[in-house]
Structure 1
Amino acid sequence: MPSKVTPTNLSPVVSIMAWLLMVISALAVFTRVGIKYVISRQLSLDDGLILVSLLFCILQSVCVANEASNGFGMQRSLIPDSHLEPLLKSNYAADMLYICSITFAKLSTLAFITFLMQRTRKIEWGIIGITVIWAITAEFAVAFQCHLPQPWDWLEGRCFDRNAWWNYFDISNLFLELIIIIFPSLLMLQTQMHWKKKVIVLTCFLTRLAVIISIVIGLVYRDRVSTEADPTLAPWSVAVCMQITQCADIVVACVPQLKPFLKGLESSGLRLYKLQGENSIRAGYYQSHGSRGKSVGQELSGLRGVSNQTTVTAHSPGWQDQWNDGQSHTSQSHIIRETREWVVEEEPVRTDDSLASSTS
């Protein structure tokens, strides 16, 4: 196939963008996982999910490059008939892998948020459930977009309105992104912490606006494509927008692992390590093996009718202090105060198989 970019052949652009954005996604994920492993010597659920997302991203990018090499992005009259079936099958697989990739990227972010926000577990699991159902229904829709036995043949086969369906998919994806942005941001706005730290944390959540912007641009180009006559040349811009959205979804899922964000979370009172005796998915997050530091925490529950909880943590120097660059303002110097009554039960650490308890 011709490799020169012309007004009637934009397939090289599609191929180059697919490979470039795949490399950016891979660098973001490996940087995140590498930093995490250096710090804690272990990975958690959200890291596993983002690695699965990257795997689907790589497979999807290979499919996009293959469909471009078979003529996607070229004028229909210039594509040999022998290249049409590989083009359509690659496009079919790329669409399904795209849904998987962005879904696991979202689930990685939601897993991290679920770890942090220990007081609203039902809301978090509700968002996760909506995301999973949304992805499964989307996969079924793409899988059966055209009549069997050739569900991938959207050139000659009988299919539903693909433009209308993808518009629905992108709009629902946009609303999911808004929920993932708004939910943790509202919690951080209610947290008593220095405004500079709060801005840093909120900025990391607001980086997901990049995904929303790419979705909106894709919707604009898809609307233009619906009026174009050439079915293989016109959609090239939509394909590039989908690659950008996929890359953005993966990259912004890695942003919360950056040092400024973690320091902001520590100062907000949210814990980044395991409470004694805790066995949930939050356990062991950023827990360093062989560290000399030791963290012991207790959760305080409010009286009847009070939904909030406060976490009180006692800390001795350990690996977490490395994030503070020797500064005197550590996570323990920020105290959240509320005028409220609490019932507190304190259990000291078990030593020598005996437990001393006191109630205050």
Structure 2
Amino acid sequence: MVQRTADVSQTAQIIIWFLFVVAVFSVGAGVGTKYALLRRFGWDDRLMLLALVMSLAQCIAISLAASQGIGKDMSTLTDDAISGFLKAGYASVPFQILTFAVVKWSITIFIEYLTPDDLHLYMVLGIRVTISLWTISGILSGLFQCALPTPWNFLNGARCIDRRAWWTYIGALNIATEVAIIVLYLLILWDLHISHSRKVFVLSIFLSRVLVIAAVIAQLVIFHDSYSDPDVTESSWLPIILDQVVICVSILTACLPFMKPFMESLQSGIVRVETVVGSQEELSHNRAGSSAYYLTDFSNSAACSHPSNGSTNRSTNRSIP
């Protein structure tokens, strides 16, 4: 029995760091491809790098929790090990919420680059405000989940919040903001006048955020099932791993639109950076301090090609919607 739980702890460590490596390669591929094509870093890129730093801090905390007793019978652990497990899990909470929030903020900046439509920009503002309030309330309530001087000790601490209700709140708002992002993607992309097959491809990339919702739902279901188990160290290994899955999927799907094959497809006529004087990019630069990638609809494939003499392409484009 001891050997089995020890194996669970080691396996959890491997999975935690494997998922982080996947996130690192996702951000590296996405941000690297975008820089190679556009020769600049936007604020959305900087936020993705910041999200990776937050994720690293969260992984370190969870890895420390795993080393203290994740997946092990609590009766076999010392008081110091149990205390270390609780403190490491407590330390991971703000980094976990911040990772989700920073990824979502990065996505909203990218969406702002995609469209000049005022309605869409107001929706982006509403999503950002919701994310900010959710982040502040989630972190503060997580840091003070039990009374001082031991706010991390939900086993024996005084005046602790209902952890099941708290995680439900965090998960529900996570899902709600993802739904809002997906709806906004649909509003921007649905009327794009391109072939059906290419539209399906574009939508599938942007709407991959649905996977984040599925992962959050799975995490909440597993957490609720394990919540009543008094042996928190043994029963928490699967919910903790699912936390890492949610973080990894959130980062991965946020980077998918910047992967090399998709960016090359976008450059072929779906998305481009307009550079003509007085263009919408220039207006966006004045508004947001960064370039725009407005979705465009070209009447023919030649409209996307650059003249051989290197002069600026001045073909007419139509912003969507």
Give the superposition deviation at 1:264.
5.6
Higher relative contact order (CA 8 A, sep 6+): 2
- Give the counterpart letter for 1:40 in structure 2: L
Q: 1:310/1:282 Cα in 2 relative to 1: closer, same or farther (>3 Å)? A: farther
Question: Would the alpha carbon gap of residues 100 and 46 (structure 1) be closer, same or farther in structure 2, given more than 3 Å must change?
Answer: same
Partner of 2:102: 104
The correspondence of residues 285-300 of structure 1 with structure 2, limited to 5 A, is none
Shifted more, 83-92 versus 273-282: the winner is 273-282
Equivalence for 1:197: 198
- Structure 1 equivalent of residue 306 of structure 2: 317
Counterpart contact for 1:200–1:260, Cα < 8 Å: no
Give the distance between the partners of 1:75 and 1:275, measured in 2 at CA.
66
With normalisation by structure 2, the TM-score equals 0.84
CA distance in 1, matches of 2:103, 2:319: 35
RMSD over aligned Cα atoms: 3.1
User: Is the Cα–Cα contact under 8 Å of residues 28 and 251 in structure 1 kept in the other structure?
Assistant: yes
Answering whether residue 25 of structure 2 is matched by residue 27 of structure 1, we say yes
Q: Which has the higher strand share?
A: 1
Query: Match for residue 226 of structure 1?
Result: 227
How far off is 1:315 after superposition? Answer: 7.1
Tell me the amino acid that sits aligned with residue 247 of structure 2.
Q
Secondary structure of the 1:210 match is helix
- In the alignment, structure 2 segments of 5+ residues that lack a partner are none
In the alignment of these two chains, the number of paired residues is 303
Does 2:76 correspond to 1:78? Answer: yes
Q: CA deviation at 1:274?
A: 4.5
Matched to 2:108, the amino acid is L
Alignment partner, residue 187 of structure 2: 186
Question: Which stretch shifts more, 189-198 or 87-96?
Answer: 189-198
TM-score by length of 1: 0.76
Q: Distance in 1 between matches of 2:121 and 2:150?
A: 43
What secondary structure does 1:207 align onto? helix
Which range moves more in the overlay, 250-259 or 235-244?
250-259
The DSSP-based 3-state class of the residue aligned with 1:163 is: helix
Alpha-carbon distance between aligned partners in 1 of 2:150 and 2:40, rounded to the nearest angstrom: 45
- Asked if the contact 2:114/2:292 (under 8 Å) is kept, the reply is no
In 1: Cα distance, 2:219 partner to 2:186 partner = 26
Q: Deviations over 1:105-156 (max 9, x none)?
A: 1111111111101102111111111111111111111011110111111121
Give the unaligned 5+ runs of structure 1. Answer: 287-296, 298-308, 322-329, 339-360
Greater Rg, structure 1 or structure 2?
1
Structure 1 counterpart of 2:184, one-letter code: F
More helix by share: 2
Quote the Cα distance in structure 2 between the aligned partners of 1:134 and 1:71: 30
| Percent identical | 30
Distance 1:131 1:76 in 2: 36
Residues of 2 paired with 1:318 and 1:62: CA distance?
51
Residue 318 of structure 1, CA deviation: 7.3
2:142 partner amino acid: V
Report deviation, 1:61: 0.5
Matches within 5 A, 1:1-360: 4=3, 6-7=4-5, 10-119=8-117, 120-158=120-158, 159-262=160-263, 265=266, 271-274=272-275, 276=277, 278=282, 279-281=286-288, 283-284=290-291, 317=306
